[in-house]
Amino acid sequence: MVQKLEKIWMDGKLIPWNEAKVSVLTHTLHYGLGIFEGIRCYQCDDGRSAVFRLKEHIDRFFDSAHIGGLKMPFSKKEIIGACKETLRANGLKAGYIRPLAFIGEGVMGVYPGDNPIQVAIITWSWGAYLGEEALEKGIRAKFSSYTRHHVNVMMTKAKISGNYVNSVLAKREVIKLGYEEALMLDTEGYVSEGSGENIFIVKNGVIKTTPLTSILSGITRDSVIQIAKLRKIPVVEERFTRDELYTAQETFFTGTAAEITPIREVDDRQIGEGKPGPITKELQAVFFDIVKGKNPEFREWLDYL
């Protein structure tokens, strides 16, 4: 359960956590057109707190609003400031930030008319998404029977609340079967992404990840690509099949919540040695050094509180 903190930022100001409430007539609650972000703040080795790639997350937040046709009532600068203010107000040194914009109360019916756009920023403490052991030993994933979005059914470049119905169904399905995370195929049968993560495979020293067609353009995905390139590990963005994934030597998920989570088994088939491989471990080590402020090469990714 999310542990309640002091304050939530809502529609321009910090208010007590328990007062951050909405009407049951909230349009988004009925029809799903809301947009959100997920951002992490880390405590660096020098004791300071830094938000990871805050600018890129807020840019994506505004892109999502643009795609969804929601007119944001705040500027990027105001939202960036509000994210930091909310962390500070809650005394969070490290944690997760969830900006959410949604269509409020007004008319009912699919057409949202001029209902107001509301914005909330919630912060909470969030450890390893799939557990500490997952980061160390890797997880067991399974392809869900649900297909990932078709690009002309859902707007996959936007983090739209309603898009996540597909993720919830897929994740519930595989958890019930005893796996830890769901993978999904796209509408043409190629590997797409996890319920809340992008996917990478490694074979013969080459990293491969899904192209941006049917997936969320992950910021962690982009970070991993940039890290790999700088370390001269070749990366290709190319479609691949489920059996190519089975025969990879390493595979891992990336995401703000999931960070870099190795996958040791997919559909009951061991991947490589059945434990995090050398490239996965190297990328994980560099990534955690960066977020902890230990890597000067990527200092611009950190926005100190």
Q: Which residues are catalytic?
A: 159
- Measured from the CB atom, the residue of 9 and 200 that comes closer to ligand PPE is 200
Query: Quick one: tokens of 123?
Result: 């912060």
271/151 Cα distance (integer angstroms): 29
84/81 Cα distance (integer angstroms): 5
Least distance in angstroms from the C-beta of 135 to ligand PPE: 14
100/232 Cα distance (integer angstroms): 37
215/148 Cα distance (integer angstroms): 8
219 contributes a contact to ligand PPE by CB under 6 A: yes
- Measured from the CB atom, the residue of 10 and 215 that comes closer to ligand PPE is 215
- Measured from the CB atom, the residue of 144 and 220 that comes closer to ligand PPE is 220
> Which one of residues 209, 220, 280, 284 is an interface residue with ligand PPE (CB under 6 A)?
220
Triad 90, 94, 97: Cα angle to 5°:
70
- Measured from the CB atom, the residue of 70 and 97 that comes closer to ligand PPE is 97
Least distance in angstroms from the C-beta of 204 to ligand PPE: 26
Least distance in angstroms from the C-beta of 61 to ligand PPE: 11
149 contributes a contact to ligand PPE by CB under 6 A: no
Which residues ranging from 153 to 172 are in contact with ligand PPE (CB under 6 A)?
Answer: 167
Instruction: Yes or no: say if 19 and 271 are a contact pair by the CB < 8 Å rule.
Output: no
- Measured from the CB atom, the residue of 115 and 171 that comes closer to ligand PPE is 171
116/106 Cα distance (integer angstroms): 7
> Residue 92: what residue type?
L
> Which one of residues 15, 31, 38, 267 is an interface residue with ligand PPE (CB under 6 A)?
38
**Per-residue x/- marks for ligand PPE, 178-217, CB under 6 A?**
---------------x--xxx----------------xx-
> Which one of residues 95, 99, 104, 218 is an interface residue with ligand PPE (CB under 6 A)?
218
Triad 14, 72, 96: Cα angle to 5°:
50
- Measured from the CB atom, the residue of 167 and 251 that comes closer to ligand PPE is 167
Least distance in angstroms from the C-beta of 59 to ligand PPE: 11
254 contributes a contact to ligand PPE by CB under 6 A: yes
Nearest residue relative to ligand PPE (C-beta):
38
**Per-residue x/- marks for ligand PPE, 255-284, CB under 6 A?**
xxxx--------------------------
Closest CA to 192 of 168, 216, 173, 171: 216
Contact residues toward ligand PPE (CB under 6 A) are 38, 167, 193, 196-198, 215-216, 218-221, 254-258
